[in-house]
Structure 1
Amino acid sequence: MAENDPEHGYLLDNRQTEAGVRFGALSELFDPVTFRHVDALGIGAGMRCWEVGAGGPSVPRGLAERVGPGGAVVATDIDVSWTQDVAGGVIEVLAHDVAADPPPGGGFDLVHARLVLVHVVDRAEALRRMVRALRPGGRLLLEDADPGLQPLLCPDESGPEQRLANRLRSGFRSLMAARGADLAYGRTLPRLLREAGLEDVRADAYFPITSPACAVLEAATVRQIRGRLVAAGLATDEEIERHLANVATGRIDLATAPMISAWGRRP
């Protein structure tokens, strides 16, 4: 998800070159988790789904496979440049701000947002709009990071490479917080879903510690924000180059922040 205001909202602009690399890595890391939940919720033929802050194309495509020709998938984002190519058939792609624009019409059997709300300044309003878009019996599945639960890029801080990685990750978190990101948002999702009136609320967490996709994601992320890290005095160009070289060796164990998945049903 992207924000139009360069000083607020999402730090990782969808329009940057590295965004496609990040979307691919996020898909590899988290699509199996997302679709495990989607399938457990019984999303299938003929249903209508709203994918909020779609970013890359993989989740809309996976939802379209499940709902079939009799269903519908509406994929929305402020910046739809990475999803517009999947429009057609049952997938409709719309430029849309979940916290400001009315929800797409028609009602939905599933509303899903992954790694979106933590970056939205008015996330409470966004959540209200998503709940209102559900049909009776419809399911809301929210998946968001909680960097505060595990703040380290290298939980096994065994040497200078790992210490540098963790310091740069701390700088990234500082930049996110300065833009209004709630670094402890993921853990609040079950309570927020209950307070929104949803029933049968459940949640779990996924926390990859070592994966080639973690390294791809880290390199793309650092390249995307390196200018801001340097401008803020959080790192030097030399440190960033050294870190990227360390990541490229494949010999340091990189983690992601835990992703909390929470789901509930509208009565």
Structure 2
Amino acid sequence: MMRTDGHLLDNRPEAAARSAALAALFDPTTFRHLETLGVGPGWRCWEVGACGTSVVSWLAKKVGPTGKVVATATDISWIASVARPPVEVRVHEVGVERPPGEGFDLVHARLALARVPDRERALRSMAEALRPGGRLLVEDTDPALQHLACPDEHGPEQQLANRLRKGLLRLLIGRGEDLSYGRKLPRQLRAAGLRRVGADAYFPVASPDCATLESATIRQFRDELVAAGFGSGQDIDRHLENLASGSMDLATAPMISAWGRRA
């Protein structure tokens, strides 16, 4: 996965397919971290930049009727279906607007910050919204750590996949993406005043969901890839056929999860 995750979603069918693939790939890791942080009944949680319903729904079940989950995004159409107690859905731009409350037990953001113009301000805002002892969990990819679609480049199909992946990364850099953002999270959490900071990474090397994610992304960026000269229409059609065959091992960039507590 590149920086084609939650930030560049739009209303095309490819966006829904990509959102589902992201949930399938990364929800288990997210839920494991949230369990470790102790999310439970009565907690007040803020889900930042929600671009799907899976994490919001999981949190709602965990906090129960005595808790609250505030889910925010600049486009709430993706999460409107879960807008019932204990979930409150709001249009909000993190790092620009004030937090939608304070005294949260948990603030969580996955794939929400890489294109925020002032990420440090956004992180400070999220940290300040915590109660003393509250937990912040931020998760983002780091394509610069692993930029290949096929780490095992053993044939022309894999070579084509990697060429198109590199082209996509160059497009995303041109859009202002920080492809090495994930590795910076521990340092930035400490700079935001958090303590007991830790981090780990999850790196899917081969999965059908990786192929689904790749196919949806390539379809959405097809015209831009061709216009920029990173591949021809025939190249892209051939790559999509290779993906559909099910014979390719597709990887994503590492998802780095970083956490800390407010003093």
* Matched residue, 2:227: 231
Gap regions ≥5 residues in structure 1? 1-9
TM-score, structure 1 as length reference: 0.94
* 1:203 paired to 2:194: no
| Code of the aligned partner of 1:16 | R
State the match for 1:216 in structure 2: 212
**Contact 2:102/2:130 (8 A) holds in 1:** no
Deviations 1:111-156 (A, max 9, x none): 1111121222221221111111111111010000000101101000
Q: Which runs of 5+ in 2 are unaligned?
A: 1-5
Of 124-133 and 243-252, the range deviating more from structure 2: 124-133
**What's the Cα RMSD here?**
1.1
Contact 2:7 2:112 in 1 (8 A): no
> Following superposition of structure 1 onto structure 2, how do residues 166-181 of structure 1 map, counting pairs within 5 Å?
166-181=162-177
Q: Which residue of 1 aligns with 2:250?
A: 254
Amino acid at match of 2:150: C
* Residue of structure 2 equivalent to 1:160: 156
Percent of aligned pairs sharing the same letter: 61
Establish whether residue 110 from structure 1 lines up as the match of residue 139 from structure 2. no
SS of match in other structure, 1:202: strand
* Paired letter, 1:154: C
Instruction: Summarize the alignment of residues 53-202 of structure 1 with structure 2, pairs less than 5 Å apart.
Output: 53-202=49-198
- How many Å separate the matches in 2 of 1:11 and 1:225? 14
Q: Which residue of 2 aligns with 1:42?
A: 38
2:19 and 2:145 map into 1 onto residues whose CA distance is 23
| Alpha-carbon distance in 2 for matches of 1:225, 1:111 | 32
Q: Which residue of 1 aligns with 2:3?
A: none
Question: Structure 1 residues 107 and 204, CA, compared in 2 at 3 Å: closer, same or farther?
Answer: same
Higher mean alpha-carbon deviation, 67-76 vs 223-232, is at 223-232
Shift in Å at residue 226 of structure 1? 1.1
- 1: CA distance, partners of 2:150 / 2:128: 40
Number of corresponding residues: 258
SS across alignment from 1:252? coil
Deviation at 1:11, TM superposition (A): 6.2
1:102 Cα deviation after fit: 1.0
Q: For the residues of structure 2 that align with 1:74 and 1:266, how far apart are their CA atoms? A: 19
Q: Do the aligned residues in 2 keep the contact of 1:11 with 1:179 (CA within 8 Å)?
A: no
Output the amino acid matched with 2:100: P
- Give the alignment's TM-score, normalised by structure 2: 0.95
CA contact (8 A) 1:12 1:224 kept: no
